[in-house]
Amino acid sequence: MAEKMFGKALKRVEDPRFITGTGNYTDDIAVHGMVHAAMVRSPYPHAKIKSIDSSAALALPGVIAILTGKDLVGAGINPIPTGWLLPDLKISAHHAIQPEEVNHVGDIVAAIIAETRAIAEDAVALVDVDYDVLESVSLGSTALAAGAVQVHPEAPGNLAFDWTIGDAAATDAEFAKADKIVKLELRNHRLVPNAIEPRASLAEYKRAGDEYTLHTTSQNPHIHRVMIGAFVMGIPEHKLRIVSPDVGGGFGSKIFQYPEEVIVLFAAKKVNRPVKWTARRSESFVSDAHGRDHETVAEAAVMNDGTLLALRVNTIANLGAYLTTFAPAVPTYLYGTLLNGTYKWKAIHAHVRGVYTNTVGVDAYRGAGRPEATYVVERIVSTVARELGMDPVDIRRKNFIQPSEFPYQTPVALQYDSGNYEPAMDMALEKLGYKALRAKQAEMRKQGKYIGIGVCTYLEACGLAPSALVGSLGAQAGQWESALVRVAATGVVEVLTGSHSHGQGHETAFAQVVADELQVPVEHVVLVHGDTARLPHGWGSYGSRSAPVGLSAITMACRKITDKAKKIAAHLLEASVEDMEHVDGKYQVKGVPERSKSFFEVALMAHLAHNYPADLEPGLEATHFYDPKNFVYPFGTHLAVVEVDADTGRTKLIRYVCVDDCGPIVNPLIVEGQVHGGVAQGMGQALLENTVYDASGQLVSGSYLEYTMPRADDMVQLEIGHTVTPSPHNPLGLKGIGEAGTIASTAAVANAVIDALEPFGVRHMDMPFTSEKVWQVIHASQLAQAADD
Amino acid sequence: MADKVPITLTVNGTKHSVHVEPRTLLVQFLREHLSLTGTHVGCDTSQCGACTVHLDGMAVKSCTMFAVQADGSSVTTIEGIGEIGHLHPLQQGFWEMHGLQCGFCTPGMIMSAADLLQHNAKPSEAEIRHALEGNFCRCTGYHNIVRAVQHASGQIQNQAQAADD
Amino acid sequence: MQLEGFNIIHATPEQVFVALQSPDMLAKCVPGVKKLEVESEGVFKTTLEVSVGPVKGSFSGKVSVLDAVLNTSLTLKVEMRAPVGIASAIGKIILEPQDAATKVHWSGEPQLGGMIASVGARLIGGVAKAQADIFFTKLEQELTSKA
């Protein structure tokens, strides 16, 4: 019997190229005759373009062409659409190059095409754009206020949408019954995703055939093909190939279809040379879609015994200047539906207003809506516990949905299909030594030392998504996934998947599952992804969907292969198909191991196929389009311990324990890696990262000098555990893990900091908990204390 | 555009005498002139460390110096420290311990860590974290990067031990 | 960010007042000046090399002298553009006689936009102070060497 690969901590097969510097990222590709693009970007948050004088730039030797918004509009290039529509959504055209008005710092007003990147960047300086500068607005609540600056004429009052979920009357009724109402005002601040590989695009155009090829940093090349081909540029699918080679991290920011992709494609045809653009990091900050940016008022209605009754949430979601690909879905269906968490709320009502501002567009960033929801729920539940004098663990245990109660219908649309929350929490508490640490915390406080313990018992809905459901909610496309499994005559198994790996190790984990399904050596399995010319249509990787959806499609395709292989073996053995079994990598007559054919023999004969009966097709390949029946619902408990230096305000993570339940684990190395990275990003939001627009609408945190990325010494070694509750509805019971760490850790760390600051009377403060902010509240408390004494 | 200037430098053991524009960055020279694309560019303010290479045995950020400043020097890049079949202990360590995900920061991480291990063959966890402060990773939370460096440190000591025996 | 400061120049307010509006003197004293020419009465067209932290750029634009009160005060309006962004400021200069010298009070609020704001905003205070010091030191050198 071949060794089972599922569950094995196999070293990654993609690693040899990365550790030797032979990966193939978009910017690594150079083609003959290639020229370079550089963008002229608006330095103003809001302005009318009065005129553009590009004569000096054009005169620079080496400059080939200069494109403006009018050139693109004149050539019939359409604005970039959003992919998700809400009822009565107000949309303003998002042009690849703005023809008339710029709406955020970094908005593109012209593009230079030149022989070298340096010349293109030199020429940017010579383009003379005359602007009529307008007033601007960068904060969501300011944009909604009466008399605010109007960003787009299409959206009066800057309101893009006004959305609610849940039963308002039922929620009011629960609030009327409550012993206590706990209210929090929360700011979930704006983040920049910051994949370390900057975005890059290389467009090639072939006059013969009128064909385009775009190499680009994408998590989902088919989404790019649909958007660019069908909507923006009107290129038939068979004439537009999108290739996304090795991608250096995405975290959501490489889902979206960006202006620069349209510009290089357009330019490649215009100048009849391949055109490459690679973002400078300073451009990434003002052009990659940002994440989060919510202002929320949340109220919980509770009983004195800790019973949670109802939750009322009012959120202003800053969408930035334009609606990017998934923007309308993130603060609505990926947020409002998650506000139930792991608890038995009797009623929930959420009201979300999506608002335009003169800032970079906001869209999905690792977790996308779910971290924001988890932050609201987990912060308020911990606050309720504190105000009732309960332990934050006890209030959670009291209100958890119980295993016997699944499937569980929440008040906010989702039906959880499975879950078992207490064992995960108990395992985490045990790992941390929770009770002892609480005692130590009390002891330390007496000595003027402050640690805090933060609890987060999160749940997420991922594995996007049942197509009919998301379609009914406004998605303009289904979110099924495709797989094509093709067995070559030599027995090599080529797996073509619509999922896209940009760090998640699909080449390894997917091969493990295929090896088990087909009972072949794992090294005989080769994964192909990221190229629309080679793959059946697929939807890519985001929303923790690659394992539950992509790998389910592959599994089903493998099962079709096995069925077909049995038929071939039956023919070769002159047996009936019903008598065949697949054992130890062989197709044999049941109970007669001597009468068998190996996988290799079957694969070879599938291709030679010169003596087949009429009802048996030659070849050995299968395609499956898998559409999940429901989301999957991973959950777990994260416990953060922070230490606050009362003299300096310096707040540091000192321990982190997490127990996640993502169902059966294909490769524990990869799953734990996803948790590590996710936790670092969530911790980064809580303690370090912030995106700051100043009063004049300028982004003043636009480089790594100002935007504080987590570094090696900001993190600790994580203490990780797992429980396993399989998803009941996909073939392997898989659930996603890509976003869980980020979803849970921001709230866990925030709860820890607030817990640490309890002796200073701090009930809530907004992230990020920088030394300065923490010192300010400690200092204020000490001054007040001194005044009382 | 200023006139090109002649430089001679050794990269991964191969001597190159070329003419470059004075403003050519070392990283640009490596990637565009020599097609050594393992060295990456992740930022424009010398923070991310993806471009780290060794210049005469010391780790430097190759986005922060001009190619002409490397005239007469010896440069080692990720392509030069090991290859499949003969991996550097750090390359092996990153592979064994799953010290990478998207792989983009990895070459710079390995080159920075190699500099550390040259000076401190047995670093503590805190010393490793401190030494890698100039390198960003957005994927791994640094957890397995630390373990990868520890793994390599152990390997190097075992090799030294074996050589002594 | 509102910035202010003063520098002592060993010359009379009359000399300083003239010097501050002299294209030759400005061309010699403004740090990083590459080009400076008179566009019209009280309006100079100029190109400057300025670096703010990691961002360096060639700024070109206009400096206009407004509200000049003879030998006492003047206002400078600066509007500059560069590939790395935009910089503008209204600067107020007051000349106060102090023995044989002049105490030059300066104040203003620089506004940055574009990349230079995202990368250099927090450094602008220090940069502006340093530039002012260089300017007035040179101005003093020019005025005292002539005297």
Nearest to A287 by CA among A265, A260, A313: A260
Scored b (16 or more CB within 10 A) or e, B19-41 reads: ebbeebbbbbbbbbebebbbbbb
Q: Does C123 touch chain B (CB under 8 A)?
A: no
Q: Is residue A402 within 8 Å of A617, Cβ to Cβ?
A: no
Distance CA A687, CA A766 (A): 10
Q: Where in chain A is the domain with CATH 3.90.1170.50?
A: 31-134+197-248+254-287
CB contact under 8 A, A14 and B87: no
CB contact under 8 A, A717 and B143: yes
* Interval C33-54: pLDDT, tens: 999 999 998 899 999 888 877 7
Cα–chain center distance at A252: 4
Question: Both B26 and B58 in a single domain?
Answer: yes
Q: Which residue on chain B is closest to C54 by alpha carbon?
A: B45
- What distances in angstroms separate CA A390 from CA A306, A394, A397, A398, A435, one per listed residue? 8, 7, 11, 11, 14
Please identify, among B37, B55, B81, the residue that sits at the C-terminal boundary of a domain. Answer: B81
Does the structure show a pLDDT above 70 at C146?
no
Q: List the structure tokens of B150.
A: 């520890």
CB contact under 8 A, A249 and B130: no
Please tell me the predicted confidence (pLDDT) of residue C116. Answer: 86
Distance CA A639, CA A72 (A): 52
Nearest to B107 by CA among B144, B73, B81, B141: B81
Question: Both B70 and B104 in a single domain?
Answer: no
Question: Both B64 and B108 in a single domain?
Answer: no
A353: Cβ contacts below 8 Å, ≥ 6 apart = A144, A159, A161, A162, A163, A315, A316, A317
Work out the number of other CB atoms within 10 angstroms of the CB of residue A716.
21
Q: Does C68 touch chain B (CB under 8 A)?
A: no
Q: Where in chain A is the domain with CATH 3.30.365.10?
A: 291-464+630-788, 481-626
Please tell me the predicted confidence (pLDDT) of residue B1. Answer: 54
Please identify, among B81, B107, B129, the residue that sits at the C-terminal boundary of a domain. Answer: B81
CB contact under 8 A, A41 and C114: yes
* Interval B107-149: pLDDT, tens: 999 999 999 999 999 999 999 999 999 999 999 999 999 999 9
Residues of chain A scoring pLDDT < 50: none
Question: Both B131 and B74 in a single domain?
Answer: no
3-state helix, strand, coil in chain B (%, to 5): 40, 20, 40
> Cis omega before residue A403 (within 30°)?
no
**Helix, strand or coil, per DSSP, at residue A442:** helix
Q: Which residue on chain C is closest to B45 by alpha carbon?
A: C54
Of A194, A251, A673, nearest to B98 by CB-CB distance is A673
Q: Is the alpha carbon torsion for A493, A498, A504, A510 positive or negative?
A: negative
Distance CA C50, CA A468 (A): 57
DSSP run (H or E) holding C3: strand C3-9
The structure tokens 């400096």 sit at C63
- What distances in angstroms separate CA C145 from CA A13, A344, C15, C17, C18, one per listed residue? 74, 84, 13, 17, 16
CATH code, domain carrying B106:
1.10.150.120
Show which residues on chain B lie within 8 Å of chain C, measured between beta carbons: 44-46
> Which residues face A113 on adjacent strands?
A37, A65
Kindly report the nearest CA distance between residue C48 and chain A, in angstroms. 14
B52: Cβ contacts below 8 Å, ≥ 6 apart = B39, B59, B60, B61, B62, B107, B108, B109, B111, B112, B134, B135
> Which residues face A188 on adjacent strands?
A294
Bridging pattern class, strands A211-216 and A240-243: parallel
Of A22, A196, A676, nearest to B105 by CB-CB distance is A196
Please tell me the predicted confidence (pLDDT) of residue C82. Answer: 85
CATH code, domain carrying B23:
3.10.20.30
Q: List the structure tokens of A58.
A: 């054009």
Q: Is residue C60 within 8 Å of C67, Cβ to Cβ?
A: no
CB contact under 8 A, A196 and B82: no
**Helix, strand or coil, per DSSP, at residue C146:** helix
Boundaries of domain holding B39: 5-81
Q: List the structure tokens of A434.
A: 């929770």
* Mutate which: C59, C84, C111, C118, vs A, most A CBs within 10 A: C118
Nearest to C68 by CA among C105, C42, C45, C44: C42
Task: Tell me the DSSP string of A485-550.
Answer: EEE-TTS-EEEEES---SSS-HHHHHHHHHHHHHT--GGGEEEE-SBTTTS-----S-TT-IIIII
DSSP run (H or E) holding C40: strand C33-40
Question: Both B96 and B77 in a single domain?
Answer: no
Question: Both B37 and B75 in a single domain?
Answer: yes
Does the structure show a pLDDT above 90 at C119?
no
Greatest alpha-carbon pair distance for chain A in Å reads: 99
Q: Which residue on chain B is closest to C115 by alpha carbon?
A: B44
Q: Which residues of chain B lie closer than 8 angstroms to A8, CB-CB?
A: none
> Which residues face A274 on adjacent strands?
none
The structure tokens 């997917």 sit at A510
Q: Which residues of chain C lie closer than 8 angstroms to B45, CB-CB?
A: 54, 119
Question: Both B98 and B74 in a single domain?
Answer: no
Nearest to A370 by CA among A30, A736, A760: A736
A188: Cβ contacts below 8 Å, ≥ 6 apart = A292, A293, A294, A296, A371, A372, A375, A376, A767
C6: Cβ contacts below 8 Å, ≥ 6 apart = C103, C104, C105, C106
* Mutate which: B45, B47, B63, vs C, most C CBs within 10 A: B45
* Mutate which: A119, A196, A660, vs B, most B CBs within 10 A: A196
Q: Which residues of chain B lie closer than 8 angstroms to C119, CB-CB?
A: 45
A31-134+197-248+254-287 CATH:
3.90.1170.50
**Structural domain count, chain B:** 2
Please identify, among B52, B81, B110, the residue that sits at the C-terminal boundary of a domain. Answer: B81
Q: Does C64 touch chain A (CB under 8 A)?
A: no
Q: What is the residue-level pLDDT of chain B in tens, covering all 165 positions?
A: 578 999 999 999 999 999 999 999 999 999 999 999 999 999 999 999 999 999 999 999 999 999 999 999 999 999 999 999 999 999 999 999 999 999 999 999 999 999 999 999 999 999 999 999 999 999 999 999 999 999 999 999 888 888 887
Question: Both B18 and B54 in a single domain?
Answer: yes
Kindly report the nearest CA distance between residue B23 and chain A, in angstroms. 9
Q: Is residue B60 within 8 Å of B52, Cβ to Cβ?
A: yes
Distance CA A197, CA A251 (A): 11
Question: Both B68 and B103 in a single domain?
Answer: no
A587: Cβ contacts below 8 Å, ≥ 6 apart = A565, A566, A568, A569, A570, A580, A581, A596, A597, A598, A599, A602
Q: Which residues of chain A lie closer than 8 angstroms to C82, CB-CB?
A: 125
Q: Which domains does chain C have, with CATH numbers?
A: 3-142 (3.30.530.20)
Q: Which residue on chain A is closest to C121 by alpha carbon?
A: A700
Of B45, B94, B102, nearest to A503 by CB-CB distance is B102
Question: Both B124 and B157 in a single domain?
Answer: yes
Question: Both B10 and B68 in a single domain?
Answer: yes
Nearest to B116 by CA among B65, B57, B162: B57
Nearest to B26 by CA among A276, A197, B100, B16: B16
A481-626 CATH:
3.30.365.10
**Helix, strand or coil, per DSSP, at residue A450:** strand
285-304 in chain A: CB under 8 A from chain C: 285-286
Distance CA A625, CA A636 (A): 30
CB contact under 8 A, A713 and B137: no
Q: Does B127 touch chain A (CB under 8 A)?
A: no
A291-464+630-788 CATH:
3.30.365.10
- What is the length of chain C? 147
Q: How many CB pairs under 8 A join B and C?
A: 4
Question: Both B17 and B76 in a single domain?
Answer: yes
Q: Does B38 touch chain A (CB under 8 A)?
A: yes
Distance CA A668, CA A655 (A): 21
Scored b (16 or more CB within 10 A) or e, A752-771 reads: bbbbbbeebebeeeebbbbe
Q: Which residues of chain A lie closer than 8 angstroms to B111, CB-CB?
A: none
Task: Tell me the DSSP string of A367-421.
Answer: TTTHHHHHHHHHHHHHHHHHHHT--HHHHHHHHBPPGGG-SEE-TTS-EE----H
